[in-house]
Amino acid sequence: MANYVELKNVTFRRDGRLIFDDISLQIAKGKITSILGPSGTGKTTLLGLITGQLSPQSGEVLVAGLSVPDLPRPALFELRKKLSLLFQSGALFTDLSVFENVAFALREHTRLPEHMIRDLVLLRLENVGLRGAGQLMPSQLSGGMARRVALARSIVLDPELIMYDEPFTGQDPVSKGVLVKLIQSLNSESALTSILVSHDVDEALSISDYVYVLSHGQVIAAGTPQQLRQSDDQELKQFLFGLPDGPVSFHFPAKPLAEEVLA
């Protein structure tokens, strides 16, 4: 099975803090791969490395066979036309309507006639159930609707790789279910390669083909959802089943409470 994305022995530091310590992982073409891990483990940073917004201090980041950190700026922008990222915040352009947000990439990268752009945008909005919301401005949308518009925008150019950054955070159960179905159907119908970064374990495991779990700058587990559920690793179990006690402490390091309060 060919890999669309490969990270080889990547080390990345930011502001002197070690985020990734010699990690390696592979994202298989045409599959949904989830990157799980507690908050602050650098899951979003990983997407920054894949898209070339960040460069590692050492190691290789290969996307579609190209070494991303070594690409000159024009080649990087060319590669990015094949990639798509669904931001946690949606990152919709606030001065453009929903319709224009979705049409943005088509207008920038193609010379399609206006009627064709209109049809493509309406089809993508139909995919996410928001065909009727085309004339609304982003400020008029709920959080769930904004995320769905952002999803329509990110698939309008039929990318080869789509990355979802915490797509389920802050979503109500209905929106969450709709997003899960959308991600699954997009992947199967359009033969996309998908990377799902999340800490919503149940939703991510339900649709993933392969899963990496990151913690303390390293890959602590990798495998199919079935393999991970059956693992005996204590740290992995604590994360997957949300256990308060385990190797990962809930509290940020500090003096004992009694000592601090009664001092």
What is the rounded distance in angstroms from the CA atom of residue 214 to the CA atom of residue 20? 9
CB of 6 to other proteins, least distance (A): 19
Residues 6+ apart with CB under 8 A from 81: 109, 157, 159
| Binding segment toward other proteins, per CB under 8 A, in 86-94, 196-204, 214-222, 234-242 | 86-94
Kindly state whether residue 181 participates in binding other proteins, applying the rule CB under 8 A: no
What is the rounded distance in angstroms from the CA atom of residue 164 to the CA atom of residue 183? 9
What is the rounded distance in angstroms from the CA atom of residue 156 to the CA atom of residue 117? 10
- 129-133 LR contacts (CB < 8 Å, sep 24+): 129/178, 130/98, 133/98
What is the rounded distance in angstroms from the CA atom of residue 181 to the CA atom of residue 188? 11
Are the C-beta atoms of 146 and 140 separated by less than 8 Å? no
Closest CA to 183 of 201, 162, 212, 160: 162
Kindly state whether residue 241 participates in binding other proteins, applying the rule CB under 8 A: no
Which residue among 85, 128, 151, 196 contacts other proteins (CB under 8 A)?
A: 85
Kindly state whether residue 14 participates in binding other proteins, applying the rule CB under 8 A: no
CB of 251 to other proteins, least distance (A): 26
CB of 37 to other proteins, least distance (A): 21
| Binding segment toward other proteins, per CB under 8 A, in 84-92, 127-135, 176-184, 235-243 | 84-92
| Binding segment toward other proteins, per CB under 8 A, in 60-68, 71-79, 196-204, 207-215 | 71-79
Kindly state whether residue 92 participates in binding other proteins, applying the rule CB under 8 A: yes
Residues 6+ apart with CB under 8 A from 235: 215, 220, 246, 247, 248
Closer to other proteins by Cβ: residue 78 or 119? 78
CB of 226 to other proteins, least distance (A): 32
| Binding segment toward other proteins, per CB under 8 A, in 21-29, 87-95, 210-218, 245-253 | 87-95
Closer to other proteins by Cβ: residue 103 or 205? 103
Kindly state whether residue 77 participates in binding other proteins, applying the rule CB under 8 A: yes
Are the C-beta atoms of 2 and 179 separated by less than 8 Å? no
**Tokens standing for residue 89:** 């915040």
Which residue among 41, 51, 127, 187 contacts other proteins (CB under 8 A)?
A: 51
Kindly state whether residue 87 participates in binding other proteins, applying the rule CB under 8 A: yes
Residues 6+ apart with CB under 8 A from 251: none
| Binding segment toward other proteins, per CB under 8 A, in 23-31, 70-78, 237-245, 249-257 | 70-78
Kindly state whether residue 89 participates in binding other proteins, applying the rule CB under 8 A: yes
Kindly state whether residue 105 participates in binding other proteins, applying the rule CB under 8 A: yes
What is the rounded distance in angstroms from the CA atom of residue 94 to the CA atom of residue 86? 16
Q: Which residues bind other proteins (CB under 8 A)?
A: 51, 53, 73, 77-81, 83-85, 87, 89, 91-94, 104-105, 107-109, 157
